[in-house]
Structure 1
Amino acid sequence: MIRGIRGATTVDNNDKEEIIERAHEMMIDLIDANDINAEDVVSVLFSATGDLNQAFPAKSLRQIEGWTFVPVMCMREIEVPEALPKCIRVMVTVLTERDQDQVEHIYHYGAKKLRPDLQESKGELG
């Protein structure tokens, strides 16, 4: 089955190192929680709010061994009034044997408020 796995995190500053570090942290937790192998990944799509422009969150994947050839893309999140600022989101499309209710979506730091219904899942920071 092909499934989408979501994640989101926030940063405190529009800082290159912090953007990459928080995206990396989110991806490591998402990969571990869902037992993902890079070979099973169809693609990874990152988005960032307009107030984050110092780094591509996708650079975080290149720090993970074995993820060199995974197709990845970054885009800007649409500007919605009162949306969560300084937010990085990810959608990982992956081949998995997990049922949809077994997939663990990862929300860190301020992004936990995006999905309060998932607060009991693993991988929550901040």
Structure 2
Amino acid sequence: TADDLISIWFTATPDLHSDFPAAAARRIGIADVPLLCAQELDVAGAMPRVVRLLAHVETDLPKNRVAHVYLGAAAALRKDIAQ
């Protein structure tokens, strides 16, 4: 839940430059959590239009029960752990 969030780090590919991902998070109600935005490296051939987030959360789950979610075409980025 939102109460379990400690902080979120967003990165976006260089072709995304119209808004900050953290601003979108604030608009959906994530208001009392530190948010940080950064730009991905501009690597030739990299997948365009990708926003990544790393959420630090409080959980009692063991590491092997944490699910890493990759939406849409982003699942190709990590076929080894994508759901």
Q: TM-score, normalised by structure 1?
A: 0.60
Report the counterpart of residue 10 of structure 2 in structure 1.
Answer: 46
Matches within 5 A, 1:9-28: none
Unaligned stretches of 5+ in structure 2?
none
Partners in 1 of 2:63 and 2:47 — Cα distance? 26
Alpha-carbon distance between aligned partners in 1 of 2:61 and 2:32, rounded to the nearest angstrom:
23
Aligned-pair distance for 1:73?
1.1
Pick from 91, 109, 118: which aligns with 2:54? 91
Listed one character per residue, the Cα deviations across residues 27-86 of structure 1 (whole Å, up to 9, x for unaligned) are xxxxxxxxxx32322210000000000111112222334x21111011101122221111
The SS at the match of 1:107 is coil
Q: Which SS does the other structure have where 1:46 is aligned?
A: strand
Gaps in structure 1 of 5+ consecutive residues: 1-36, 122-126
Q: Number of residue pairs matched?
A: 83
Counterparts of 2:16 and 2:25 in 1: how far apart (Å)?
18
Q: Which runs of 4+ in 1 moved over 6 A?
A: none
Q: Tell me, what secondary structure is at the counterpart of 2:43?
A: coil
Q: Displacement of 1:109 after TM fit?
A: 1.6
- % identity of equivalent residues: 36
Q: With the length of structure 2 as denominator, give the TM-score of the two structures.
A: 0.86
1:55 equivalent in alignment to 2:22: no
Match of 1:77 in 2: 40
The structure whose residues are more often helix, as a share, is 1
